[in-house]
Structure 1
């Protein structure tokens, strides 16, 4: 699988160009499935999910001009025949994984069976936003409930071999200041990327590349 792990979606030309490179074709010729699951635990979650799906959110990945776009709701998958939803996933060129509650997303990635399927999708592009990016790591830290509290460290899906903290130094995300990211990174055994909203991490064929028109920092264990 190929990964484009963003903080806030496709926010600039560099990230947009990288998405096209990973797809290997124009967006207008690619089929995508969007996954809004992580946003539901937040206040106003259903409305934010609609804005994401309709392409009217601050991360308008669903409005990039895809050939086709579907919705994959992870909480519904255990009640559906596996061969039905796996066929839809296997036919998609891209999975657009929205942000929100990383613990909730991690839980449903596992319980739905999608986490087990992802490593077999060699040509599919996984495009993460915020928590949708964080969940791919072997370990993550989060403080949504109390930004001034220490990061709580937990196990991610291990799809990539580094950790990632989005929204670094964003005024609305005091929990993601560079200083706090550095303190969290000191507690985990893998490299940690702190990235701002103009930055993404590209992973293809095991090679990791930072794509940025903003600020980022790599913290090593």
Structure 2
């Protein structure tokens, strides 16, 4: 059987870590956009419950958008930095162990493949070949499930999170500011709930869950948030507090 071209038959298909990485980024983007939609919508609807003036609504919405985007970026940066630092420390530890005790590391790699079902002879042969090819990559993959070329940048994660939040926040801002005063609140409610249904469904599709159930969850949660903030705004306005 000719296997010369077999390795290239599926070169254009995404595989393994590439798919997982893209799905993780997409999922994070959907969650960031969802946060932007709910957070800023709750703010502008709450202010709209107090006043119909565009100035205060725009100011509150813009402050929520900027503050939320920075908060999301900072949170993502801190989280990914911790993960990245941990991965780098594990990589350095494995590199040091390979330099100081190569025989023990080879035996450890052999044992790992035996534990996966290979015979002792085959496991040893696989471990030796992988070690000769790239010892560090072999151990990182088998022991820690880490690819040293696939460590996420905290700056990239922070930037992506902020952009996703801003994209989500733009919808409620436009929905509350563009329509006439008498329909801006119900229109914002409707636009936000439709958008949340879409993001909930997309997030579930990415994760392989029920799209309808996820859409209902985020829509109900979003509706409660909007109703609560609008009600609070109305109460404070009626009480003359603001």
Per the normalisation by structure 2, the TM-score is: 0.25
The structure where strand makes up a greater share of residues is: 1
Structure of larger gyration radius: 2
Structure with larger RCO (C-alpha < 8 A, sep 6+): 2
Per the normalisation by structure 1, the TM-score is: 0.26
The structure where helix makes up a greater share of residues is: 2
